[in-house]
A = this chain, B = another copy of it.
Amino acid sequence: MNNKLTHFDEGGNAVMVDVSAKAVTTRTATAKGRVTMHPATAALIANHGHKKGDVLAISQLAGIMGAKRTADLIPLCHPLPLDSVSVTLQLVEGESAVDITATCKTSGRTGVEMEALTAVSITALTVFDMCKAVDKTMQLTNIRVVYKEGGKSGTFVAD
């Protein structure tokens, strides 16, 4: 394991790491997460999916838009163009949960795992917002990177 926090310089100051010497390559990252909820809330989401206003569709769109705001939100993230963002949600009624997966791609000098994680987080927050009037016990949980490809550090696949 690397033992250096890269976001600090020799003097201990926070820095946005210099990536100017890195190659521009296609970089991909996938993150996942889950919103757990009361069974009745999951049932409400399921029923609403057949109408025009759909909790999952709205949350998905919020996640895509959220990915684009990553560098505004995370202090030391590099602003970068995004080549694609996709977010999918799966209502797992048996477990009273919504599972979220986000994949981002860039042609850049640094990875996009923070963009994928931000997309999952904003998606999950929006599920919470849409359902909070009926259920205040929801939890956002297990938000993590599951795949990362491109760049010098190679491919990462979570166990």
Interface 0/1 of A102-119, CB less than 8 Å to B: 000111110001100110
Interface 0/1 of A1-34, CB less than 8 Å to B: 1111111110111111111100000100000010
Number of copies: 6
Summarize A's interface: helix, strand, loop or mixed. mixed
A79→B82 CA distance, assembly (Å): 6
Q: Are A133's CB and B19's CB within 8 A?
A: no
Question: Closest 5 interchain pairs by CB?
Answer: A18-B84, A12-B51, A140-B143, A20-B83, A8-B53
Residues of A in contact (CB 8 Å), total 96
Q: Are A134's CB and B83's CB within 8 A?
A: no
Inter-chain contacts of A67 with B (CB < 8 A): 16
